[in-house]
Structure 1
Amino acid sequence: MIVVTGATGGLGGATVEHLLQRVPAGEIGVSVRDTAKAQHFVDRGVRVRQGSYEDPAALRDSFAGAEQVLLVSGNDPASDLVSLHRNAVEAAVAAGVRRIVYTSQQGAIAGNPYRPSEFHIDTEALLGDSGIAWTALRNGAYGPLDQLLGPWQRTGEIAQPEDGPVPYTDRDDIAEAIAVLLAGARSFDGPVTFAAPTAVTFDDFATIASRLAGRTIKRTVLDDEQWVADQIVSGVPEQAARFLLTWYQAARAGYFAEPSPLLADLLGREPRTVADRLAA
C-alpha cells in the first residue's frame, strides 16, 4: 500500500489523483487531518484514516500496512516543523514502512538564506538516521505565477527585488512525477531534484509575457527595503515580508539555479514551461 499524507492539500491531493490512474484504489491510503474533506477519495475506494503530525498514535494507525509513505512537508513557519516531521518519521518506522518519500525543497543545503531550507535540511537528516530507505524530493518552486510576478497584466510591469535563475515548475507535473515514482519500479535513495529543465529570471519572464501579451512588459528591480516597505503598505506583516525576501536573496545567490532532467524522464514528456503556464 502507498499512503499519502496531506491528501486534502494541493500537492498531496493531486498526487493521489495521479496515483488513481496508475494503481488500484485499494492499494492507496491517505492520512488526513479531517476525514470529512477526503470523502471524495472514500467514494472511489481509497482507504482514508485520520492522522496528523501532532498525533503520533493516529499516524501509526494511518500508516499501518503501508510499504511506502509520502510525507508532504508542513508549511506553517510558526510550528516546530522538525519535531512534527520527526513524529511522522518515527510513526512510519513503527508501522513497518519500507520507504519514506519526503517533499523537500530545491536548494536544501547549508548556507541557503531561504528560511524553510533549515527545516528541510534537518528533516532530511532525520530520514538519514531513520534506518529505513528514504527519498527526499527537492522540488523546484511551484507556487502560482501570478503570486510570484505580481499584477503584471494590469500594470505592464514585473516589479520585484533582484532575483536569479530558477527552474519554475508546475505543481501538477511534480504531483504526476511523484505518482510515477511511488507506483513504479524505480526508486532513488537520498535527495533528488524535481524541477523544470530550464531556469529563468524575471527578465526572461518579462520577455515571455511581452510576447504573449503583444505589448511591452517591463522588468523593474526594486530595492529590498523598498519592496519590504511596499509589502507592508499593502497589508503584509513586516515579519512575513522579510521572510519572503529571503527567497529572493537565495535566488540571486544561485541556490535554486540548477535545472534537472529527472522530472521530464519520469513524466516521459517535457514538463510545462513558464510560457505554457502564463498562456493558460
Structure 2
Amino acid sequence: MQALINLMEQSQVLAAVIGLIILMMLEQAHPFFDFFNGSLKEKSKHLLANMALGLTNVLIISVFFVGTWLWASNWAYEHQFGILNWLGMPAWAHTIGAIFLMDFWMYLWHVINHKIPFLWRFHRVHHADDKMDVTTASRFHTGEIIFSSGLRIGVILLIGLYLWELLLYETLMFAVVQFHHADIALPEKADKILRAIIVTPAMHKVHHSRWQPETDSNYSSLFSFWDRIGKTFRLHNPLKTLHIGLDEFDRSEDKKVKGLFTMPFRKGNPKENKE
C-alpha cells in the first residue's frame, strides 16, 4: 500500500507539472484576457510569486499532514469507521463515493471560507490575483492550507476514506482547478456541455469577479452540479466585461511574495466589517 501511495504522490506532482506547462503554452498562444500584453517578464514575476506560495504549501503538507492523513485512513479502515465503511460498499463504489463526498466537502469548505470573515482574510489572497491564470490555482495562503489540512483529518475519518482515494481525488480535482483558472476560453457550446459536469473557465472566472454577488457564487472545485444544488450557480455575459481581483489589494506590494504572505493580517476588505 505504501508503494502505491508513493507512486500516486509522484504521479500527482507529475500531472500538476504537465498541466501547468500545457496550460501556460495555451495561455501564451491564445490568451483570453491577455493580462500581461505578451510580456514574458511580467508573466514570470506573476508565476514566481504564486508558485512561492504553492511550493511552500506542498512542503508543509508533505512534512506535517500526509502522515497524519495516512494514520486517519488506516484507523478508519481497521475500525470500519466512516460513512462509506458503514454502508459496506464494494471497492468500486467506495472509490466513487469517496470522490463525490470529498468534492462535496470542498464545496462546503469553499463556501465557509467566503462566509466567515476570519477565514476570508486568508482566502482573499487567492481572490486578490487580478491577473488570474493557471498559476492562480496554486496561490493559496499557507494559513488556509493549514486549516483545511487539519480539518481533513476529521473528514477522512467521517467519510472512511482511503489515502490513495484522497490522492486520486486531488489529482483529478487539481487538474480541473488548473484548467478553470487558466487564462483561456472554450467555445460557448463546448463550455456549456462541459460545465454540466465539471467547472469550466467561463464558470470559474465569474467566481473571481470584483463584484461580491459574483464572487460569492460558483464555489465548486471539480463537479459543477454542487452550485446548482446549492443555488450558487451564476454566469456573466459577455465574459470579456468581467473585472477580476479585489479592489482593496491592487497595490504593487500586494503582488509580491511578502505582500501575499502578509495580506491576511492587513485591513481593507469590506467583508471584515461584518465582524
More helix by share: 2
Report if TM-score (shorter chain) is over 0.5: no
Give the structure-2-normalised TM-score: 0.25
Give the structure-1-normalised TM-score: 0.25
Q: Decide which structure has the larger Cα Rg and report it.
A: 1
